[in-house]
Amino acid sequence: MVNWQPLILTFQLAALTTLLLLFIGTPIAYWLAHSRSRIKPVLEALISMPLVLPPTVLGFYLLIAFSPSGAFGQWLDEQLGLQLVFSFPGIVLGSMIYSLPFMVYPIQAGFARLSPSLREAAYVLGKSRRTTFFKILLPNVKASLLSAIVLTFAHTIGEFGVVLMIGGNIPGQTKVASIAIYDEVESLQYGAAHTYSLVLFAITFAILLIVYWVNGQHVKSWER
Amino acid sequence: MMECSLKKTLSSAKGTMSLEVEFSIEEGSLLCIYGKSGAGKTSLLRLLAGLMRAEEGFIRVNGQTWLDHRQGVCWPPQERPLGFVFQDYALFPNMSVRENLEFAKTKKTEAGLVDELIELMELGDLQHRRPTGLSGGQQQRVALARALVQRPPLLLLDEPLSALDLQMRRRLQDHLLQVHRAYGLTTLLVSHDLSEILRMADQVMELEAGKIIRQGDPRSLFGPATSPDHLQLHAHIVRVQEGEKQWKLEIFCENRLLEINLPPEKARQFQKGDEVLLAWHASEAVVHKIP
């Protein structure tokens, strides 16, 4: 009998990470698209780090930072009752850092592609910055938002190193599908490994297919 | 009545330039701002709209002070009552033509004005379409209609007609003149097309490198001393062909290519690309009746 728990946990992790990143990533993307600040390159470099750094490096530092024997980990535990090492909240936080560029960059590119006169036209019509953002800018980067959401979701499903380092392998807590596959292969349970792999393969392919299909339709409907 | 005096340092690829202008415009008139690209025409409109901040100066419109650097007054673009038509039209792609107009409405907008503008600009058949699929001329009409929804006393147009073909341009010039009069607007139009200016402007102002170099009535500025029995057409020189006794000028006028022969001493002053006025005395004109 196949244990579905790792797969369910994987999708819970991916969904929560994507949702939280959408709220954090959109303002960052908007700021990056319009800012001429001197610290912008620094921020861009930091956000891009997970693209090039081995996930184990990120996981290692997070492990040290959140370890209950360290000062910060102790403070989190005492003040907020938050244990980030070997726990579900910990792997959510790790995934958020790891997937941040996949949320930020598509949205940033979307905002940067919009003509600046759209924003200015709304201002001249007396609309506030807030109204302009929600009624004009955000609806016009819909396609970018969709790609960002899907990329983040899919990327989080495929995550392995960060989760393993900071979360370990606790069933129901941190044992996501990618780790379960590794675990099954280690103990020569190829049948179970096949099941997990195939399900991940099929579901991620289906998600991406739907998105590209919808995106194509969307573009057409605007050109009509 | 609008009076302004503005100073702003502009930086471009060619280096920095100081925009320094001082002018006034009567209520209800149509002022064309003319000049080469990079002369500061668009920046001037942006300063007036508050999309760019002047370093020094003031803007007073019908007794309201929109900007005065000495008093620290600077109204944001949201509060300045004006309509702006952008060079790229800036229509919102996520809204239909009608929704673009509806978006511009405020609490004060009279019921029925959107319908009136849709009819006036001949947008009835297009009102439920998205702007992305419309032609340049159609988009221009939508942008103009949208700029008028709030019934602004002042209308700023940033080369709205430059991307259109000659025929379409003519029709839109008529539309523009029609709304300019119907709504009693004070209009500032950036243009680098002389025929457009001669057709539309009450006043013209020429900018060069950020300064006003000429200002006044378009005919006295761009036309030779004229009398009513002279016929004038705006044209430009396509080619100057040297010959022994006669030089041949190829002139593009009214969408046609004309050839005119001139003696070398007269033709020498012209170069390819020059803007010229073709003038005839009416006594030499041939008049045909169209059956």
pLDDT of A1 reads 63
Local confidence pLDDT in tens for the 291 residues of chain B: 899 999 999 887 778 889 999 999 999 999 999 888 888 899 999 999 999 999 999 999 988 999 999 998 999 999 999 999 999 999 999 999 999 999 999 888 888 889 999 988 889 899 999 999 898 889 999 999 999 999 999 999 998 887 777 777 888 888 889 889 988 899 999 987 887 888 889 999 999 888 998 888 887 777 665 556 667 777 888 888 888 888 888 888 877 888 888 888 888 888 888 888 887 777 777 888 887
pLDDT of A223 reads 44
Cβ(B44)–Cβ(B235) under 8 Å?
no
Distance, in Å, from the CA atom of B186 to the CA atom of B175, rounded to the nearest integer, reads 15
> Which positions in chain A have a beta carbon within 8 angstroms of at least one beta carbon in chain B?
115, 117-118, 120-128, 135-136, 139-140, 142, 222-224
Distance, in Å, from the CA atom of B239 to the CA atom of B146, rounded to the nearest integer, reads 42
Give the H or E element holding residue B150: none
* Residues in chain A where the model's pLDDT stays below 70: 1, 218-224
**How far is the CA of A57 from the CAs of A41, A63, A93, A179, B37, in angstroms?**
22, 10, 15, 17, 53
Query: Which chain A residues are within 8 Å of B146, Cβ to Cβ?
Result: 125
Instruction: Return the amino acid letter for B98.
Output: R
Cβ(B206)–Cβ(B182) under 8 Å?
no
**What pTM was estimated for this model as a whole?**
0.80
What does DSSP say about strands B154-158 and B186-190: parallel, antiparallel, or unpaired?
parallel
Distance, in Å, from the CA atom of B87 to the CA atom of B189, rounded to the nearest integer, reads 11
Distance, in Å, from the CA atom of B35 to the CA atom of B3, rounded to the nearest integer, reads 21
* CA terminus-to-terminus distance, chain A: 51
pLDDT of B229 reads 66
| Tokens of residue B274, six digits | 């020059």
Instruction: Return the amino acid letter for B255.
Output: N
Cβ(B59)–Cβ(B24) under 8 Å?
no
Mean pLDDT of chain A: 89
Q: Which of A119, A123, A124 to mutate against chain B (most B CBs within 10 Å)?
A: A124
pLDDT of B205 reads 92
Distance, in Å, from the CA atom of B266 to the CA atom of B276, rounded to the nearest integer, reads 14
The DSSP secondary structure of B43-86, one letter per residue, reads: HHHHHHHTSS--SEEEEEETTEEEEETTTTEE--GGGS-EEEE-
Query: Which chain A residues are within 8 Å of B142, Cβ to Cβ?
Result: none
pLDDT of A224 reads 40
Across the interface, do B77 and A120 touch by the CB < 8 Å criterion?
A: yes
Give the H or E element holding residue B119: helix B113-120
Write b or e for each residue in A39-54: b if 16 or more Cβ atoms lie within 10 A of its Cβ, otherwise e.
Answer: eeeeeeeebeebeeee
Q: What is the pLDDT of residues A160-189, one digit of tens each?
A: 889 888 888 888 888 899 999 998 999 999
Q: In this complex, is the C-beta atom of B216 within 8 Å of any C-beta atom belonging to chain A?
A: no
**Helices and strands (DSSP H and E) totals, chain A:** 11, 0
Q: In this complex, is the C-beta atom of B128 within 8 Å of any C-beta atom belonging to chain A?
A: no
| Tokens of residue A136, six digits | 């004009």
pLDDT of B227 reads 58
CA B98 from centre of chain = 25
Q: Tokens 């996981």 label which residue?
A: A59
Distance, in Å, from the CA atom of A196 to the CA atom of A189, rounded to the nearest integer, reads 11
Residues 6+ apart with CB under 8 A from A4: none
Interface of B with A in 68-87 (CB under 8 A): 76-80, 82-84, 86-87
Cβ(B54)–Cβ(B68) under 8 Å?
no
3-state secondary structure of B281: strand
pLDDT of A219 reads 58
**How far is the CA of B136 from the CAs of A7, B140, B172, in angstroms?**
52, 6, 11
Distance, in Å, from the CA atom of B37 to the CA atom of B35, rounded to the nearest integer, reads 7
Sheet architecture: strand order including B154-158: B73-74, B64-68, B56-61, B2-12, B15-25, B211-216, B203-208, B30-35, B186-190, B154-158, B82-85
Instruction: Return the amino acid letter for B59.
Output: I
Across the interface, do B90 and A140 touch by the CB < 8 Å criterion?
A: no
The residue among A12, A34, A33 whose CA lies nearest residue A144 is A33
Across the interface, do B79 and A126 touch by the CB < 8 Å criterion?
A: yes
